[in-house]
Structure 1
Amino acid sequence: MPVDRLKPSRVLNIERFSDFSEFRANEVLGLGTSTPLRPREFSLARAILPLQSGLFVLQRAFARRFEAEMGTDTGIGLVVPLTFHSITNGVEIDSSTIGVVRGKAPVVSIEHQPNTYLMLRFNSDMRHRGWADFNTGLASVRVQDDPMARLRAVFLEMFSLASACEDAREFETLNRPIQETVLAGLDAALVPAEARAPRPGSFERHRKLIARLDEVVELFGSQPLYSDDLAMALGVSVRTLQTATQVVHGVSLHHYLRLKRLWAVRVLLMAGGGGLTVKAAALANGFWHLGDFSIGYKRAFGEMPSETLARGRRSHYRS
């Protein structure tokens, strides 16, 4: 969804500029100086979305020369492209590359075309998730097509949902489920495959960790499953859990937890309780993108969630 199609809401702020003299830089990743390459064609639009974990800005900029001390005093900053091309610090950057900045880094960028991208500032440095293992500076991470496409789809759905929001309190309840999906997408993009590879002789240790993970999941009961909470409960990093699920089950941590959450929804729907809806069951288990949830549910169980609920209600009434 282009920025121009988004509308302001209770949670989403929209800024648009058609005159460079009125333009204000956004401070999400530090202030910079922009010089338009084609002043008569100037136009900029941005959507600003604060979440519990940080600040997210979707922006369509103008052709420009950009100079900045880019970065953040705490946490980590990311630039995720939608359509993008620049020469940044003498290096060609395109739509397949995520920019990662820790601390502050000087940036000189020439953008010959209007670029659309996301600027993200997280409050955490995300080292516990295995992102971009360096101390300070700016790095470019090239991402495969599939994880990049999935990541973009998540962001666009998130901004679309925020744009349509009429109840800020309702959106606040979705903060953690949305953030978990975003984090999973960024894990897939930013954690190198070699970082998930096991060390020789570590399989038994990983197997025991997964056994403990399953026990903790049982203790969580009907609570939504979030990777940070589970890692904290087990006294390990999310990165360690990622490696363990990959080694033992051959799937990502997000996929493993998603299957467990899908099963939890199925149990609720099969019970067929009075007044229960598919949406309520999905939201209760951390699913906020209902279209994606329905597709995943049918792929896992061979039927739509509404079919499971209908059968559960029939069984409930017969009993």
Structure 2
Amino acid sequence: MPVRRLKPSRVLGVERFSDFSEFRANEVLGLGTSTPLRPREFSLSRAILPHRDGLFVLQRSFARRYEAEIGTDNGVGLVVPLTFHSIANGREVDSSTIAVMRGKAAVEAIEDRPNTYLMLRFNSDMRHRGWADFDTSLAYVRAQDDPMTRLRAAILEMFSLASACNEPGEFEALHRPIQETLLAGLDATLLPAGARAVRPGSYDRHRKLVAHLDEVVALFGFKPLYSDDLAAALGVSVRTLQVATHAVHGVSLHRYLRLKRLWSVRVQLMTGGDGLTVKAAALGNGFWHMGDFSKSYKLAFGETPFETLAHGRRPFHPAIGA
């Protein structure tokens, strides 16, 4: 969904400018000076989504010369491109490149066309996830196509949902599931290629950690599984869990937990009472994007969640003579 189609709601703020004299910069990642390259074609739209742990701004900008000291005083800032091209500090930056900021950095850029991108500011520095392991700098991370496609889809779905939601309490209830999806996408794009490498002699330690993880997951029961909560319960970093699940099972931590959450939904649908709905079971296990959930469920189990629920509600008829 293009930014211009988003509508304001009680959750989402939307700003649009068609005259450069009325334009004002957003301070999510610092202020800068913008000079339009084609003033008669000026247009800017942005959607602002406050977040419990930071701020998200989805913006469609204009062709411009941009000079700024960008970044954050605390935490970490990111710019995730949807469609993007610029020359920043003499370097070409395109739609495959995520900018990661710690502290402040001077930037001089030429954006020769309108760009669409998400600006994120997290209050946490996210070091426990293994992102951009430096103290104060601006780094550009080139992501692979598939993880970037999934990340962009999650971003657009998040803003689309916020645009359609006029009950702040309802959106707040989805805060953790949405955040987990976004973190999964960022983990997949920002972790360096060697982040999941297994050191010689460490497999047994990883196997024991994953066994312990399985025990903790069992204790969680039907509660949603979030990577930060599980890492805290085990006394390790999320990055350590990522390395362990990849070493033992050959999949990312998020995929491993997603499969467990899908199984949890399946058990509930097969054994739930008459009042249970697919949506309630999905939301209760941390799934917020119903279309994506249904697709993943059928791929995993060969039937839709609605079919599983229908099977679970069929009355049991013991065999004659049993």
Matches within 5 A, 1:1-319: 1-315=1-315
Equivalent position amino acid for 2:218 in 1? E
Between the aligned partners of 1:216 and 1:54, the Cα distance in structure 2 is 29
Q: Against the structure 1 CA distance between its residues 256 and 20, is the aligned structure 2 distance closer, same or farther, given a 3 Å change threshold? A: same
Q: Against the structure 1 CA distance between its residues 124 and 302, is the aligned structure 2 distance closer, same or farther, given a 3 Å change threshold? A: same
Between the aligned partners of 1:285 and 1:208, the Cα distance in structure 2 is 25
* RMSD (Å) for aligned C-alpha atoms: 1.0
Q: Are the aligned partners of 1:53 and 1:179 in contact in 2 as well (CA < 8 Å)?
A: no
Q: Are the aligned partners of 1:273 and 1:316 in contact in 2 as well (CA < 8 Å)?
A: no
Cα displacement string for residues 207-231 of structure 1 (whole angstroms, at most 9, x for unaligned residues) = 0000000000011111100000000
Cα displacement string for residues 249-291 of structure 1 (whole angstroms, at most 9, x for unaligned residues) = 0000000000000000001000131211000000000000000
Q: Against the structure 1 CA distance between its residues 177 and 317, is the aligned structure 2 distance closer, same or farther, given a 3 Å change threshold? A: farther
Between the aligned partners of 2:144 and 2:268, the Cα distance in structure 1 is 37
Between the aligned partners of 2:162 and 2:294, the Cα distance in structure 1 is 20
Between the aligned partners of 2:129 and 2:200, the Cα distance in structure 1 is 21
Q: Are the aligned partners of 1:150 and 1:185 in contact in 2 as well (CA < 8 Å)?
A: yes
Q: What is the TM-score when the length of structure 2 is the normalising length? A: 0.97
Cα displacement string for residues 148-167 of structure 1 (whole angstroms, at most 9, x for unaligned residues) = 00100000000001111021
Q: Which runs of 4+ in 1 moved over 4 A?
A: none
Q: Which runs of 5+ in 2 are unaligned?
A: none
Q: Secondary structure at the residue paired with 1:99?
A: strand
Cα displacement string for residues 80-106 of structure 1 (whole angstroms, at most 9, x for unaligned residues) = 001100000110101010001110000
Q: Secondary structure at the residue paired with 1:223?
A: coil
Q: Secondary structure at the residue paired with 2:183?
A: helix
Between the aligned partners of 1:75 and 1:198, the Cα distance in structure 2 is 29
Between the aligned partners of 1:192 and 1:96, the Cα distance in structure 2 is 15
Equivalent position amino acid for 1:96 in 2? S
Shift of 1:53: 2.2
Between the aligned partners of 1:285 and 1:50, the Cα distance in structure 2 is 24
Equivalent position amino acid for 1:180 in 2? E
Between the aligned partners of 1:92 and 1:222, the Cα distance in structure 2 is 47
Shift of 1:316: 6.8
Between the aligned partners of 1:9 and 1:276, the Cα distance in structure 2 is 30
Q: Against the structure 1 CA distance between its residues 201 and 24, is the aligned structure 2 distance closer, same or farther, given a 3 Å change threshold? A: same
Q: Against the structure 1 CA distance between its residues 316 and 255, is the aligned structure 2 distance closer, same or farther, given a 3 Å change threshold? A: farther
Deviates more, 1:221-230 or 1:48-57: 48-57
Between the aligned partners of 1:49 and 1:315, the Cα distance in structure 2 is 47
Shift of 1:31: 0.7
Cα displacement string for residues 172-203 of structure 1 (whole angstroms, at most 9, x for unaligned residues) = 00000000000000000000120110111000
Between the aligned partners of 1:238 and 1:193, the Cα distance in structure 2 is 16
Between the aligned partners of 2:161 and 2:128, the Cα distance in structure 1 is 29
Q: Are the aligned partners of 1:265 and 1:285 in contact in 2 as well (CA < 8 Å)?
A: yes
Between the aligned partners of 1:194 and 1:272, the Cα distance in structure 2 is 43
Equivalent position amino acid for 2:153 in 1? A
Say how many residue pairs are matched.
318
Between the aligned partners of 1:157 and 1:97, the Cα distance in structure 2 is 21
Equivalent position amino acid for 1:73 in 2? D
Q: Are the aligned partners of 1:272 and 1:316 in contact in 2 as well (CA < 8 Å)?
A: no
Q: Against the structure 1 CA distance between its residues 276 and 148, is the aligned structure 2 distance closer, same or farther, given a 3 Å change threshold? A: same
Q: Secondary structure at the residue paired with 1:298?
A: helix
Between the aligned partners of 1:4 and 1:309, the Cα distance in structure 2 is 39
